[in-house]
Amino acid sequence: MGHGSNNTIKRGGFSSSFGVLAATLGSAVGLGNIWKFPYLTGANGGAGFLLVYLLATLVIGLPVMIAEITMGRRAKANPITALQKLSPKGQPWWLVGAAGMLASFLILSFYSEVVAWVFAYVVKAIGGSILSSDRQVTEAAFSKLIADPAQSLLWQWGVLMFIGGILLMGVTKGIEGLAKKLMPLLFLLLLLLCAVSLSLDKAAEGLAFLFRPDFSKITATVVLTAMGLAFFKLSLGMGTMMTYGSYFRDDQNIPMTTVRVMAADLCVSMLAGIAIFPAVFTFGFAPAAGPALVFITIPAVFSQIPMGQVLMVIFFVLAAVAATGAMLSLMEVPVVILHERLGITRRRATVLTIVSLMVLGSSCALTNSLLAGFKIFGLNMFDLFDFVSSNIIMPAGGILLAVFVGWVWGREQFTSALSNNGTLLNESTSRLVFFLLRYVSPVLILLVMLKGLNLL
Ligand code: PFF
């Protein structure tokens, strides 16, 4: 169970090295790999974009991820308590943890609705009701689902209870146990779909869309987009990685783990692109992003491939698997905060989180039906929650955490925590990471944030 925890509440933890990797990767891999990453890569210069993304990950993604995990592991506590423990007395750094909890509620509210559509589509794919090569038919089917308040709510609540149920099994059995099974399954399903997609007529066109380098498309905006994507993709800036870090074993090599997670996550995005775009081009559809790609184009495309129904079921199961790990990590943040801060049982904390999310999330589930006209700052709740969390809280959290490590916690403490009191790692790795956190990451993330707020 706990690894040297000095908390009064007995804490769970990840039990094996593979478990750590699977759970952390499970958080990074999500819907972002399926509808965001491949499309953004294709539309913004293919291999050129990949190169920019890789650089963005190296200079801002990985350092912040390492910082968060290191802080969590050293404090062995939820993000609010962790920041309290690590900061000098009287300084309100714990507010960053509180903002992270707010972000996780906001993200869960809209993310759970999209996951609800994914789960609904697994059932619809099995039943065959979305099997049509006509995009208008698949579009009508999707519109019907999202405009139906009862269906939207029920699927969302079902998803929330499903994820909450896994969390009730605890960190080791629930999160780690499931991730160890789901991550290999994810790769297997992806490879299968890739094999089919690559065997289609116009596979080369799809691959060219995805990979052909076009450096003329790399503008400043594209660079900032890549940096923002790195942040969302790796679940950074809101305490998720800090929470998972608190379950890491002391002898786990953190930089190595983060590099592996980043590489495997990138691999999933690439494979998703290879599974999707050759098929999309073969049947003459235009590449798209977001819900339109997943829920309208994909059904129309797969309906035209032999055994298409089976492939469609596989595709939506794959999306559900990817989304489950991300949802688990998002929900674990408020669960462990409520559990440890309020001193209530983990079960109570989970139920409280689910019920709060049912209420808050319903404002997103109903944006296409009962609440269609309800807007704040010109945005419906779905878009508002997305904007506030992705464009404000996550980057601001990233900046503050980097500043905290670089300027408040200091090099000695950070190095000692990262290297497990000098038993792991060489000095130069921690020097480099510390330098990036102190001088480079905060400035670059600030640029991403200003762009996200349309101030740049
Ligand atoms: N990384 C997930 C994705 O790419 O879909 C999304 C996500 C999960 C963001 C967990 C933030 C988080 F805390």
Do 335 and 349 meet the contact criterion of CB atoms below 8 Å apart?
A: yes
Mutational pocket test of ligand 1: of 232, 266, 267, the residue with most ligand atoms within 8 Å of the beta carbon: 232
Mean pLDDT of the chain: 93
- For residue 199, give every residue at least 6 positions away whose Cβ sits within 8 Å of its Cβ, in sequence order, or none: none
Give yes or no for residue 177 CB within 6 A of ligand 1: no
Give yes or no for residue 232 CB within 6 A of ligand 1: yes
Q: How far is residue 450's CA from residue 77's CA, in Å, rounded to a whole number?
A: 31
DSSP 8-state assignment for residue 369: T
Instruction: Identify the pLDDT of residue 423.
Output: 85
Give yes or no for residue 31 CB within 6 A of ligand 1: yes
Write phi, then psi, for 376 (nearest 5 degrees). -125, 130
The CA-based angle 365-366-370, given to 5 degrees, is 170
Give yes or no for residue 131 CB within 6 A of ligand 1: no
Mutational pocket test of ligand 1: of 34, 233, 235, the residue with most ligand atoms within 8 Å of the beta carbon: 235
Helices vs strands, H then E, count in the chain: 23, 0
The residue count of the chain comes to: 456
Q: How far is residue 452's CA from residue 456's CA, in Å, rounded to a whole number?
A: 8
Measured in Å, residue 83 CA sits from the centre of ligand 1 at: 21
The CA-based angle 420-425-428, given to 5 degrees, is 120
Task: Locate the domains of the chain by residue range.
Answer: 17-452
Instruction: Identify the pLDDT of residue 441.
Output: 95
Mutational pocket test of ligand 1: of 107, 113, 393, the residue with most ligand atoms within 8 Å of the beta carbon: 107
Instruction: Identify the pLDDT of residue 1.
Output: 39
Do 407 and 442 meet the contact criterion of CB atoms below 8 Å apart?
A: no
Residue 235 structure tokens: 């679940």
Architecture of domain 17-452: Up-down Bundle (1.20)
Measured in Å, residue 312 CA sits from the centre of ligand 1 at: 24
Measured in Å, residue 445 CA sits from the centre of ligand 1 at: 17
Residue minimizing CA distance to atom 11 of ligand 1: 235
Identify residue 172 by its one-letter amino acid code. T
Instruction: Identify the pLDDT of residue 78.
Output: 98
Closest CA to 413 of 87, 96, 89: 87
Total-model pTM: 0.94
Residues of the chain with pLDDT under 70: 1-9
Mutational pocket test of ligand 1: of 24, 25, 27, the residue with most ligand atoms within 8 Å of the beta carbon: 27
Instruction: Identify the pLDDT of residue 9.
Output: 59
DSSP 59-98: IIIHHHHHHHHHHHHHHTS-HHHHHHHHSPTT--THHHHH
Give yes or no for residue 233 CB within 6 A of ligand 1: yes
Give yes or no for residue 100 CB within 6 A of ligand 1: no
Give yes or no for residue 32 CB within 6 A of ligand 1: yes
Do 245 and 69 meet the contact criterion of CB atoms below 8 Å apart?
A: yes
Instruction: Identify the pLDDT of residue 35.
Output: 86
Give yes or no for residue 282 CB within 6 A of ligand 1: no
Identify residue 75 by its one-letter amino acid code. A
Q: How far is residue 122's CA from residue 371's CA, in Å, rounded to a whole number?
A: 26
